Amino acid sequence: MAAAYASEHLESFNGLVFLAAYPTKSLKSDSFSVLSLYGSEDGVLNMEKVEEGRAYMPVDYAEVCIEGGNHAQFGNYGEQKGDHAAKISWEEQQAQTVEAILNMMEAHKDQKQEEVMMTYEQISPQEAKKRMDKEADVIILDVRTQEEYDSGHIKNAVCLPNEDILSEPDILPDKGQQILVYCRSGNRSRQAAQKLADMGYENVLEFGGILDWPYPDLVE
């Protein structure tokens, strides 16, 4: 019932936990999480239905089998017909259940915080080139070292090493300026783009590394 309701209101929830259960309707959403728990000694749960239910799960889906747990011990209502005897106590089964649910909630919270923190946009090298060709006032920012920049860089790029961004903001006076950021492989450019966003720059676009730049004629 919970899964059926959630499937029609995915935008209203962060996720769903199944305790020895399965969905019969789609839960696919980029912003929805599902955790499925069941015991290894469960004699009630239809595992074929569980297998079928996996087709309805979102990308953020985790499945946990509690070794020694059975069906009834997810609650405190006694034995159930057809269930197998548990090999762990109900206290241990429920403790593992709580731990798994808390881990899911913490992971979702961290993901949401990361999404809020990332206030720059990631684009492809192809999209970056389109913007370079179309917009005259765009700044191309190379955040590698000066030595790396001197060995070859994208035409018209300005060198501002990632390590110096916080101490040398004067090179980028306009916080509304469109800034295209790249490095060697994409790691430093993401760090630099986040720093710029944290400093209040409103139009930061990160497009990876020069190693993946497919336009050698635009390198000097």
Question: Helical H runs in 1-89?
Answer: 2-7, 47-53
Those residues with Cβ within 8 angstroms of residue 184's Cβ, 6 or more apart along the chain or in another chain: 144, 148, 209, 210, 211
Amino acid identity for residue 105 in this structure: M
Q: How far is CA 150 from CA 50, 125, 138, 145, 215, in A?
A: 58, 21, 21, 9, 18
Q: How many beta carbons lie within 10 A of that of residue 105, not counting itself?
A: 15
Residues annotated as part of the active site: 183
Q: Which residues pair with 34 in a beta bridge?
A: 16, 61
Contact by Cβ (8 Å): 121, 205: yes
Q: How many CA atoms lie within 13 A of 43 on its CB side?
A: 9
